[in-house]
Amino acid sequence: MVKRIGALVVVVVALILLLSSVFVVKEGEYRVVLRFSEAVKIHSEPGMKFKVPFIETTTSLPRYQMVYDDNKPTEILTKDKKPIIVDNYTVWKITSPQQFLRTLRTISSAESRIGDNVYSTVRRKLSEIEYGDIISENTARGDLNAEITREVAETADRQNYGIQIVDVRIKRTDLPEENKDSVYERMISDRQSIAAGYLSEGDEESRKITAAADRQARELIAKAESDAKMIIAEGEEEAARIYNEAYGKDANFYQLYRTLESYVTTIQDETIIMLPVDSPYTRILLGRE
């Protein structure tokens, strides 16, 4: 009976020792083995691991990227001393668990340090920019975010926290309630001024196009009239040549034809003409030729 109890005790002790020495590393976490509160080993691959029971302990740290957003928009003064409400978030991750535990120890402590650094950098960067440029549609917000990210990341590297700042983004910029109306009125006035400028430019361009079209039309009409006169002149010249060629074949007939034509032109309605009886014109008219 004593042997059985002793064997059972040994089994229980062995089981306790086994359970105390085994731990599981999950996906997406660092499992840090601590000996007297000092990190001695880091496990990042999922699976079952072992430690020295009762002497070593473990703690878990996230290996994935985390988003820090304290949801507390802060008021910052721009370069032209305009108050602006800024809300931002930070994406970060732990890269050195040992250094992280040595300097920051907890996630909440890390986020507090990150928040201080981000606020300081955002305040300084926005204080270098006028409010109109911040809210303008042409503002390179992407470049501003990149600059803030770079500076915050460099600060974290210098302080050797064992973390990496992946991205810092300004997700919202707004005005204090007491300043919104005046700024909105100024924005409306600016947009109306821009619209008036576009309309003025459009009218000027319209006048230029109309003037160019009128000038082109006058040039086309002038050229067409000139071409028409040349064609008429050429036609008249050709007709005269044909007449001369035809009439030159019989001079007497031509003279008679011209005389008859003159009768048609001269004797109209009640026209009275005094002619000598023996003149050639009269003899032809009387049929004596």
Show me where the domains of the chain are located.
Answer: 2-62, 66-175, 258-286
State the pTM of this model. 0.56
Q: Which of 22-36, 94-108, 191-205 has the least mean pLDDT?
A: 22-36
pLDDT at 113 over 90: yes
For residue 8, what pLDDT band results from cuts at 50, 70 and 90?
low
The superfamily (CATH) of domain 66-175 is: Band 7 domain (3.30.479.30)
Averaged pLDDT for residues 183-197: 81
Q: Give me the pLDDT at residue 114, please.
A: 94
Confidence of residue 37 (pLDDT cuts 50, 70, 90): confident
- Mean pLDDT computed over 94-110: 91
Quote the pLDDT of residue 192: 87
Tell me how far apart the 2 most distant CA atoms of the chain are, in Å: 186
More confident residue, 276 or 118: 118
- In percent, the amount of the chain with pLDDT more than 70 equals 78
Confidence at 74, pLDDT banded by 50, 70, 90: confident
Pick the residue with more confidence: 176 or 225?
225
pLDDT on residue 178: 65
pLDDT at residue 176, rounded to an integer? 72
pLDDT in tens, 249-264: 777 777 777 777 776 6
Q: Which of 2-16, 48-62, 204-218, 275-289 has the highest mean pLDDT?
A: 204-218
| Cβ pair 134, 126 in contact under 8 A | yes
Answer yes or no: is pLDDT of 18 > 60. Answer: no
What 43-52 contacts at long range (C-beta under 8 Å, 24+ apart), as own/partner pairs, is 48/22, 48/23, 48/24, 49/22, 49/23, 49/24, 49/25, 50/21, 50/22, 50/23, 51/21, 51/23, 52/21
Q: Are 94 and 62 in contact (CB under 8 A)?
A: yes
Given the DSSP bridges, would you call strands 163-174 and 74-77 parallel, antiparallel or unpaired? unpaired
How many residues does the structure list for the chain? 289
Question: Quick check: 111 pLDDT over 60?
Answer: yes
User: pLDDT at residue 89 above 70?
Assistant: yes
- Using the predicted structure, report yes or no on whether residue 140 has a pLDDT greater than 60: no
pLDDT mean over 211-224: 92
